Amino acid sequence: MLRVSRAKPLLSLLAVAIVLSGCGWHLRGGGLSLDSVGSVAIVARDTRSELVTTLKRKLAAYDIAAVPAGEADYQITIFNQQTKKRTASVSGAARTAEYRLVAEVTFLIEGSAAASTGVNQPVTVFAERYFDFDETRVLANQTEQRQLQQAINDNLAHQIMAHLQKAAQQQTPPDAT
């Protein structure tokens, strides 16, 4: 009896570890190495957009300065940014039950040696989220939509930074690391 009671917590811990490793759970923001990026200029039509603000905040978290275009090691030019809200599913009463938010961004990363590495091609990334819609909870729906839009912008900014990391790695000589 004593051995069985000791084994239960161990088996529970093992089961949790297996479930977490198999479900796709991972830490957010992990895996970026932007040590070789000193400064970035962000050029966009709307420099006060949520995406640009989120991108600047994420760059600051990596100690990367956001500077004017002529002074930067790299320049991120955001050409096109679109967000669409579409009906994802309808209820039995033929009313919207779920919405799909999709955001798409086309951008270009340029650095001092980007032209020679082939990095200077426009890239389009996208993120999407779904949310349930309840017509009796209008304010709650609006709040949830704003929160999901923030999560989408965070995801897009992370994807842009991953492309920035790729550009920096292609520009850095292999023996410099």
Over the stretch 70-102, which tens digit does the pLDDT of each residue have? 888 899 999 999 999 888 888 888 777 788 899
Q: What is the structure's pLDDT at 89?
A: 82
Q: Which residue has the higher pLDDT, 43 or 36?
A: 43
Q: Which residues lie closer than 8 Å to 165 by C-beta, 6 or more apart?
A: 32, 33, 34, 37
- Highest averaged pLDDT of the listed ranges 114-118, 134-138, 166-170: 166-170
Tokens 């690391």 belong to: 177
Strand ranges, E, within the chain:
39-44, 65-66, 74-90, 96-111, 123-132
Q: What is the structure's pLDDT at 115?
A: 42
Beta-ladder partners of 83? 103
Domains present along the chain, CATH in parentheses: 76-176 (3.30.160.150)
Rounded Cα gap, residues 113 and 120, in angstroms: 9
| CA-wise closest residue to 127 among 159, 172, 88 | 159
Lowest mean pLDDT among 122-126, 141-145, 148-152: 141-145
